[in-house]
Amino acid sequence: MSCPACFSGAVHEGTPTGTVTKLHGLDVYVAEPASGNKPKGIIVLIPDMFGWDFVNIRLMADHFAKKRDYRVYLPDFMDGHGAPVSMIDSMQVLLAPKTWYDTFSKPFHALTVARHGVPAMFFNRPGKTFPVVKSFMESLRRNEAAHLPVGVTGYCWGGKHVVLLAEGFSIDGKPLVDAGFTAHPSLLTIPDEIEKITVPVSFALGDKDFMVNTEQAMQLESIVLEKPDGQKGECRMYPGYGHGFACRVDVSNEDPKAADEAEDQALAWFEKHFDDVKY
């Protein structure tokens, strides 16, 4: 199940600079290298529960394209069923210290969260959405990524799909994914799903994230570090940070340093694993 932290955080300021198109049957936000150079690789970004049109995620896609000359695809894997951003405001009220006013306001916001959160979790359960993700990746590998390395990055809800893709699917003799990255993933089955990973995955985890607690994080790290060459992953802990820190940090109350570092962690991981890919 998702937790309250999956719907908490802040909406970031900024104007996305990418474009929206239709690709392999899905609406997709596309960020191209700002330099005008040909892309060195393709990154597929799988968002949190707020979906492909969440401004925070689109700004992140722009950053990935700008910093390393990658083409970034942010598909609507949720088919329009992402949680509305208004849930963030309602969750802030519910999690705030109680006042006399909350006697009247908190029940309203609780109903709002339930009304939007339950359908979002139902329509976006991994058993329903992962086949959509996998189908898109297959079409991508056969077409746009036929001669380019592919990375996949996921946040919260999206992290589950990164781990599932990392089991090592292939098509036409090529892997669907060459490397993966996830920050504060949700819904993982540890250790079972981690043991199935055969693609190198980098994890960014907060030590205050109860979706992957400290004991589970240590277990996860042990598993990915013991994998053979070509499959070995990494796990970096971010002390003092909880769920959502990499994509929904509240810059007015929290230091955004960890979010920036997690972004750089992902980009360094892809650069490391893309260098040797030749198609």
Residue type, 145: A
Section 128-132 average pLDDT: 98
Under the banding of pLDDT at 50, 70 and 90, the label for residue 121 is confident
Section 137-141 average pLDDT: 98
Angstrom distances, CA of residue 96 to CA of 4, 106, 252 = 12, 10, 16
Domain map of the chain by residue range? 4-85+121-274
Question: Is residue 99 predicted with pLDDT exceeding 60?
Answer: no
Q: Which fold has domain 4-85+121-274?
A: Rossmann fold (3.40.50)
pLDDT computed for residue 1 by the predictor: 45
Report if pTM > 0.85. Answer: yes
Average pLDDT of the chain to the nearest whole number: 90
63 vs 106, which has greater pLDDT?
Answer: 63
Question: Is residue 186 predicted with pLDDT exceeding 90?
Answer: yes
Percent of the chain whose predicted confidence (pLDDT) is above 90: 72
